[in-house]
Chain A
Amino acid sequence: MEALLFERDTIFAAFWMTIRLTAVSALGSLVLGTLLTAMRVAPLASLRGAANTYVTMMRNTPLTLVLMFTGLGVGAQLGVELSDDIATNNFWLAVIGLTAYTSAFVCEALRSGLNTVPVGQAEAARSLGLGFTKTLGLITLPQAFRAVVAPLGSIMIALTKNTTIALVVGVGEASVRMREMIETYGDQVLEIFLGFAAGFVLLCLPMGLLFGWLSRRMAVAR
């Protein structure tokens, strides 16, 4: 217990990094995931093909490899520099990797949400003279969103846990701190593990409850 108390400032700092990574990547993947969903149902075959290929590739590649690629490929080889500060640069590289990966899952969830919207909704929209963008943006996609709040919640919880893998691009979040602490305070391994685990339970449990409540509130009565 002493180790956890003694190091509580650095532990909070590490979890604060976890929270920031999660929040920024969550926002990014919701935007990119929505865009990908729109592409996947678009009238243009080239857009559908591009989005389909992207989603299949991302879903079947380990996140570790995606993040290694953002670090080594995008960072070192493409020479993308997002900040002069190396820590900030690594943070944004991790956000890129996590967003690229998570948005594929957001897209899958949203697409299955579109399937739950009755055909008549889109047909009614079209008969009013709405085009593709308006039918999707005003009628079907909002309903799809409300149908998949719970699965989106699971994806966001998975994202929170996945931020631990950001350590491969050199981001000092919770898992890095836990490893350092196990090495420093070898006699308190169990307490340290349970402490960090409790941190994630504290982050994920309210998220699960929030999304559960939201999904009941937002459900479209049919």
Chain B
Amino acid sequence: MSYANLYEPPGPRGIRRNRVLAAVVALVLLGLAYVVYVRFDAKDQWAADKWTPLLRGDVWATFILPGLAGTIGAAVVGVVLAGLFGLLFATARLSDHRWIRVPAAAVVEFFRSVPLLLLIFFAFFGSYMLIGVNISAFAAVVFGLTLYNGSVIAEIIRAGVQSLPRGQSEAAQAIGMRKGQVMRLVLLPQAFRTMMPAIVSQFVVLLKDSALGLIVGFDELVNRGLNGIAANFKNTIPAAILIAAIFILINFSLDRLATRLSTRLGTTR
């Protein structure tokens, strides 16, 4: 989308003025970057020995790759479980029976309004008292990711089903399908199709949220990468930049995938 309708195409004077302004803006941004550069430089963050560790194979093998494996592992398990949770509760909220619909709605609304970190703390620190075993940080993170993101996905799927024309389910009933079949064969596949971009975006959120695992000591990318590397080489800034770059790269690709899916499925209007 272009926003060029907000201003007249500049004439000769406007072009000159814009050039001057662009130079001023560039100078301000460069000035800002310079101040940051100097401040970090005073702490030696640009010294070569802070950056070279990031290129070493053993640093990747000890910190970055295991961290990445932790992040992706939690995200993949979280995606599968949250997807199942979402599917189950979306169907339950759409049920004809009040006694299924109302409790399902309560569960979904509850988990959507509780901060994820509280869920993780509850599972991690409370598990021993509740079930008699200490669960791992991984399990606590997955527990939180599943309930929180699952509830959001349930709402996305429900919105998708509700946006379908009524005729879809009526036609399915007319040819003699049972309620389960209507949902499974007619409504859900269509809802998935329209809601796929939103679901993928929610998976980006889930992947980002897995970084909360650091707070309960789960070995994910921010924990291993930022804390682990910086503890050994005192290079907080280079390590943070690298970790951020990895996250941005992964999420940006997922974002692109969501856009591609929505054009591919013909859902962008």
Contact = CB atoms under 8 A, between A and B. Distances in A.
Interface of A: 40-41, 43-47, 50, 56-57, 59-65, 68-69, 72-73, 76-79, 114-115, 119, 122-123, 126, 131-132, 135-136, 140, 157, 161-162, 164-165, 167-168, 174-175, 178-179, 182-183, 186-187, 189-190, 193, 196-197, 200-201, 204-205
28 contacts: A44-B21, A44-B22, A46-B26, A61-B244, A62-B212, A63-B208, A68-B240, A77-B43, A78-B36, A79-B42, A126-B6, A131-B7, A132-B6, A161-B116, A165-B215, A167-B215, A168-B214, A168-B215, A183-B125, A187-B129, A189-B125, A189-B129, A190-B130, A193-B122, A197-B110, A200-B114, A201-B114, A205-B113
B188 interface: no
Residue of B8, B209, B247 most packed against chain A (CB within 10 A)? B8
A45 B129 CA distance: 58
Nearest to A37: B3
Contact of A61 (B215, B237, B248): B248
A60 B25 contact: no
Contacts, number: 158
A56 B252 contact: yes
Given A46-B29, A126-B7, A182-B126, A164 B115 contact: yes
Given A46-B29, A61-B244, A140 B6 contact: yes
A134 B18 CA distance: 17
A212 B42 CA distance: 49
Residue of A47, A64, A73, A78 most packed against chain B (CB within 10 A)? A64
Contacts of A63: 208, 211
Contact of B25 (A44, A65, A136, A164): A44
Given A175-B121, A179-B121, A60 B240 contact: no
Contacts of A114: 3
A208 to B, nearest CB: 8
B118 interface: yes
A62 B114 contact: no
Contacts of A186: 128-129
6 shortest interchain CB distances as A-B pairs: A62-B211, A189-B126, A60-B251, A41-B3, A161-B115, A132-B7
Contacts of A61: 208, 244, 247-248
A145 B210 CA distance: 32
Contact of A77 (B116, B122, B237): B237
B268 interface: no
Q: Per DSSP, are chain B's interface residues mostly helix, strand or loop, or mixed? A: helix
Contacts of A168: 214-215
Contact of B113 (A64, A167, A204): A204
Contacts of B10: 43
A69 B45 CA distance: 14
A23 B40 CA distance: 31
A123 B5 contact: yes
B229 interface: no
Indicate the size class of the contact surface on chain B.
35 or more
Interface in B84-118: 110, 113-118
Interface in B186-213: 204, 208-212
B225 to A, nearest CB: 9
B204 A46 contact: no
Nearest to B213: A64
Interface string B20-40: 011001100100000010011
A138 to B, nearest CB: 12
A59 B248 CA distance: 8
Given A40-B3, A126-B7, A165-B117, 9 more contacts: A41-B6, A60-B208, A65-B222, A77-B236, A161-B113, A179-B125, A193-B122, A201-B110, A201-B113
A126 B211 CA distance: 47
Nearest to A39: B25
Given A46-B29, A65-B222, A73 B244 contact: no
Contact of B7 (A68, A135, A161, A162): A135
B133 interface: no
B156 interface: no
B130 A189 contact: yes
Contacts of A122: 5-6
B55 interface: no
Contact of A69 (B204, B240, B248): B240
B142 interface: no
B144 to A, nearest CB: 11
B243 interface: yes
Contacts of A140: 6
